[in-house]
A and B are shown apart, each in its own frame.
Chain A
Amino acid sequence: MISAGCDIGSLTSKGVIMENGRIKATAVIASTNNPESSAEKVMNLAVEKAGMAMDDIDVCVGTGYGRDRIPFVQDTASEIVCHGTGARWLVPGAMTVIDIGGQDCKVIRLDAGGQVEKFITNDKCASGTGRFLEVMARVLGVSLDELGTFSAGTMSPITFASTCTVWAQADVIRHLNDGHPLEDIGAGINSAMANRVSMLVSGSKPKPEICMTGGVSKNRGVVQTLEKLLGSRIHLPRRADPQLAGAIGAALLAQKNGRGGAN
């Protein structure tokens, strides 16, 4: 059976095509301001990569904030359910999922069967989301990938007093003007990010194994600091891009529920 998952987020749209529970093709694009066209674009790209046609997909499930406007899906599912399902597939045995995307942070606790037990999200404050790192990388004039490498390169990260993205941005500019090394500032930013996330994670009483998905899990500095703060190892997905967790979860649900099956 060919199943597909389509995750339309506010910043990126993701498409995954699976054949009998194995990934055939994936696609990630920047979201347009129209969820319909984002969905069409990303799924066409995934279908093309898989060497298929849209008609070959037996069932497609939509998720993400734009899920209700995807024209071709048979069903939709919440982001929490899809991210939980996708994370369990990416990191088998994961009981706690930390997913940090461009505009939000979710902490999901799963039961032994992979069902969502409880979750906490922050989508009200940019601090503790990928947006915080994006803003700081821009001020520092480095890429997000480079920012992630800074923590390993310094023993003296700068401490940031404010969690607010706006105030921290002003602090970064001040430190740059004072001539502090880029590595120390960047490492401090990664630690500030990890601090903020650890508060949310601790509030959800995490159980091992802990895994991390979403774009921010690619930042080693954030992950390693978070491991120290939580006193626990954080497992990272190896089977696919961690940004695809939601779309993978949607494709797995599509496969489980079958053609036209209600969730």
Chain B
Amino acid sequence: MISAGCDVGSLTAKGLLLNESGILASEVIPVSGRPTRAALEVMNLVLKSAGLSMKDVTHLVGTGYGRKRIDFAHSIESEITCHGMGAWWGDHSIRTIIDIGGQDAKAIRVNHEGEVTRYVYNDKCASGTGRFLEIMAEALEVPLDGMASEEEKSTRDVHISSQCVIFAESEVISLVNEGVPVPDIIKGLHGAMAARAAALARSIGIEERITFSGGVARNGGVLRGLEESLGTSLVRTGSDPQLNGALGGALIGARKCGVHVKPPGIMEEEHGTVQAGH
């Protein structure tokens, strides 16, 4: 059995392949132009790196913002279902998932079998989504990937009072003009972003343990801020948080074929939650 997950987001498309014993390959590409084309491109890429072709795929699940445009998918699942499953698979003790993507933020509660019980979603306001950090990185002339390491040079706490991206951008520019060091501003921005995500999660009630997924979860500064805001340490499942949706899709695809893929971190049944991570 080969199961595939194809997650076409607003900014990136992700493809992942699974067989009975685990993940075979995964790829991430930027979305330019039509979702259908991005889906095909990322799937061709991931199949190539696994040495397979499309006809080898038993079941392909499409998910993400562009899911309805993936015409070669066998089934379509909501992002929420896929993210819930993907995160829970990495560690069965996970009950709450905070996911921040390029254009949305969500908090998902799952039960002991990885099924979604509650969720909340923000895509109405850019604040609290990855777009917030992108715009701030541009304003500060720091590469987005370099934000977290810049934060490490911070020596002083700076509070960012604006929630709106537009107003926060002006606030950041004034802070720079006042001579506030960039690492301090970045730490403040990560804290603001984390506080916003924590508030979203609290609105559906938080049950431990918690994990953080989506593209923004790769930013260690926001992760730190989130742990501070929530007052607890988060589960690091060891898998790429950006691939969570595609992974969940592929896992659901496998289930549809009657296959329950065992997570890599679980060594023995009685150590149900032993997992790889930092």
Query: A residues near B, CB below 8 A?
Result: 33, 103, 124-126, 131, 135, 162-167
- Bound-state CA distance A164–B174 (Å) is 22
Residues of A within 8 A of B135 (CB): 166
Are A162 and B124 also in contact (CB < 8 A) when A33-B174, A33-B177 are?
A: yes
CB distance from A1 to the nearest CB of B (A): 38
Q: Is the interface of A mostly helix, strand, loop or mixed?
A: loop
Q: List 25 A-B contacts (CB under 8 A).
A: A33-B174, A33-B178, A103-B167, A124-B163, A124-B164, A124-B167, A125-B125, A125-B163, A126-B164, A126-B165, A126-B166, A131-B167, A162-B124, A164-B125, A164-B126, A164-B165, A165-B126, A165-B164, A165-B165, A165-B166, A166-B131, A166-B165, A166-B166, A167-B103, A167-B126
Question: Which 10 A-B residue pairings sit nearest by Cβ, starting from the closest?
Answer: A166-B126, A126-B166, A165-B166, A125-B164, A126-B164, A166-B165, A164-B125, A164-B126, A126-B167, A131-B166
Residues of B within 8 A of A125 (CB): 125, 163-164
Are A163 and B167 also in contact (CB < 8 A) when A33-B174, A33-B177 are?
A: no
Residues of A within 8 A of B178 (CB): 33
Residues of B within 8 A of A167 (CB): 103, 126
Inter-subunit contact B166/A135 (CB<8 Å): yes
Nearest opposing residue in chain B for A125, CB measure: B164
Inter-subunit contact A164/B177 (CB<8 Å): no
- Bound-state CA distance A131–B165 (Å) is 12
Residues of A within 8 A of B167 (CB): 103, 124, 126, 131
CB distance from A170 to the nearest CB of B (A): 9
Please encode chain B, from 157 to 182, with 1 for each CB lying within 8 Å of some chain A CB and 0 for all others: 00000111111000000100110000
Of residues 82 through 134 on chain B, the ones whose CB sits less than 8 Å from some CB of chain A are: 103, 124-126, 131
Give chain B's interface residue range (CB within 8 Å of chain A).
Answer: 10 to 19
- Bound-state CA distance A131–B170 (Å) is 11
- Bound-state CA distance A36–B229 (Å) is 37
Residues of B within 8 A of A103 (CB): 167
Residues of B within 8 A of A131 (CB): 166-167
- Bound-state CA distance A162–B163 (Å) is 17
- Bound-state CA distance A167–B128 (Å) is 13
Residues of A within 8 A of B166 (CB): 126, 131, 135, 165-166
Inter-subunit contact B163/A164 (CB<8 Å): no
Residues of A within 8 A of B177 (CB): 33
Residues of B within 8 A of A162 (CB): 124
Residues of B within 8 A of A165 (CB): 126, 164-166
- Bound-state CA distance A135–B131 (Å) is 16
CB distance from A74 to the nearest CB of B (A): 30
Nearest opposing residue in chain A for B162, CB measure: A124
- Bound-state CA distance A125–B165 (Å) is 8
Q: Knowing that A124-B162, A165-B164, A167-B126 touch, tell me 13 more A-B residue pairs with CB under 8 angstroms.
A: A33-B177, A124-B163, A124-B167, A125-B164, A126-B164, A126-B166, A126-B167, A164-B125, A164-B126, A164-B165, A165-B126, A165-B166, A167-B103
CB distance from A72 to the nearest CB of B (A): 25
- Bound-state CA distance A135–B165 (Å) is 12
Of A33, A124, A135, A163, the residue contacting B124 (CB under 8 A) is A163
CB distance from B196 to the nearest CB of A (A): 12
Nearest opposing residue in chain A for B124, CB measure: A164
Residues of B within 8 A of A126 (CB): 164-167
CB distance from A191 to the nearest CB of B (A): 18
CB distance from A21 to the nearest CB of B (A): 37
CB distance from A35 to the nearest CB of B (A): 13
- Bound-state CA distance A158–B162 (Å) is 30
Please encode chain B, from 172 to 210, with 1 for each CB lying within 8 Å of some chain A CB and 0 for all others: 001001100000000000000000000000000000000
CB distance from B122 to the nearest CB of A (A): 10
- Bound-state CA distance A135–B135 (Å) is 14
Give the most central of B125, B163, B177: most A CB within 10 Å: B125
- Bound-state CA distance A197–B103 (Å) is 24
Nearest opposing residue in chain B for A168, CB measure: B126
CB distance from A174 to the nearest CB of B (A): 12
CB distance from B219 to the nearest CB of A (A): 19
CB distance from B5 to the nearest CB of A (A): 27
